[in-house]
Amino acid sequence: MSNANYQRSFVAVAALSAIAPGATTPVPALPSGASPNGVIGHSTSVGVPCWYDTVSPAQWRGFGMRTCVLAADITTAAGALGNAAGMALAVKSNTSYAFKFFVRYRSNNVAAGIGLAIGTLAFSTQDYTVRIAAAAAGLGPPVEGTRRAANVVATSFTVDIINSNLLATVEGLITTGATSGNIQLRWLSSDGVSTITMRAGSGGYLQVVA
For residue 18, which phi and psi values (nearest 5 degrees)? Answer: -90, -5
- The percent of residues above 70 in pLDDT, for the chain, comes to 65
Domains of the chain with bracketed CATH: 3-62 (no CATH), 65-208 (2.60.120)
Q: Please say if the pLDDT value at position 36 is more than 70.
A: no
Give pLDDT tens digits for 75-122. 999 999 999 999 999 888 888 899 999 999 999 999 999 999 999 876
Q: Please say if the pLDDT value at position 32 is more than 80.
A: no
Give pLDDT tens digits for 165-193. 999 999 999 998 888 889 999 999 999 99
**Cα distances (angstroms) measured from residue 3 to each of 6, 9, 33:** 5, 10, 14
- The pLDDT score that the predictor gives to residue 202 is 97
- The pLDDT score that the predictor gives to residue 40 is 54
What pLDDT band is residue 44 in, cutting at 50, 70 and 90? low
Q: Please say if the pLDDT value at position 145 is more than 80.
A: yes
| Residue ranges with strand state E in the chain | 40-42, 49-53, 59-62, 65-69, 74-76, 82-91, 96-107, 114-119, 123-132, 143-147, 154-155, 166-176, 181-189, 196-198, 203-208
**Cα distances (angstroms) measured from residue 54 to each of 4, 26, 27, 46, 135:** 12, 8, 10, 16, 50
Residue scoring higher pLDDT (5 or 51): 51
Q: Please say if the pLDDT value at position 48 is more than 80.
A: no
- The pLDDT score that the predictor gives to residue 147 is 87
What pLDDT band is residue 60 in, cutting at 50, 70 and 90? low
- The pLDDT score that the predictor gives to residue 24 is 42
For the chain, the distance separating the N- and C-terminal CA atoms, rounded to the nearest angstrom, is 22
- The pLDDT score that the predictor gives to residue 45 is 52
- The pLDDT score that the predictor gives to residue 171 is 96
CB half-sphere exposure, 35, CA atoms < 13 A:
16
90-121 residues labelled b (16+ CB within 10 A) or e (exposed): ebbbebebebbbbbbbbbbbeebbbbbbbbbb
Q: Please say if the pLDDT value at position 199 is more than 70.
A: yes
Q: Please say if the pLDDT value at position 125 is more than 80.
A: yes
Going by C-beta distance under 8 Å and a sequence separation of 6 or more, which residues neighbour residue 198?
A: 70, 73, 74, 75, 76, 84, 87, 103, 104, 105, 187
